[in-house]
Amino acid sequence: MYTVVQGASNYSFIAVDACLNPGPRRPFNFIGNIHPEEYKLLQKFGKDSESSDATIWFGHYPTSCILSPVPGVRHLMENSTAYLCGHLHTLG
């Protein structure tokens, strides 16, 4: 998490690293995973960013391709401004 302060406004940026370690190679690298310890850290970052004027999450995978503990990664971002991510490619 990184917070930028501009005058009286602040903006939080939270990175979501769902890459598998070690990760599979193409064409099977379209699913991400967040382990429970990482999920707890992201929950903390989300709570810490509640006082920000805007919170922007970003990561490689679309949220529909991230496996995570319940209630899920989208729940972490429900009060945020945006989630910026990569995109999926066709296998062909």
CA distance 53 to 5: 10
CA distance 17 to 68: 12
Q: Are strands 2-6 and 9-16 parallel, antiparallel or unpaired?
A: antiparallel
Domain range enclosing 75: 2-85
Residue 90 domain-assigned (yes or no): no
CA distance 27 to 51: 40
Q: In this structure, are residues 11 and 4 in contact, taking their beta carbons and an 8 Å threshold?
A: yes
Residue 92 domain-assigned (yes or no): no
pTM metric for this prediction: 0.87
Residue 41 domain-assigned (yes or no): yes
Residue 45 domain-assigned (yes or no): yes
Residue 76 domain-assigned (yes or no): yes
Residue 62 domain-assigned (yes or no): yes
For 31-77, the pLDDT digits (tens) are: 889 999 999 999 999 999 999 999 999 999 999 999 999 999 999 99
As for how many domains the chain has, the answer is 1
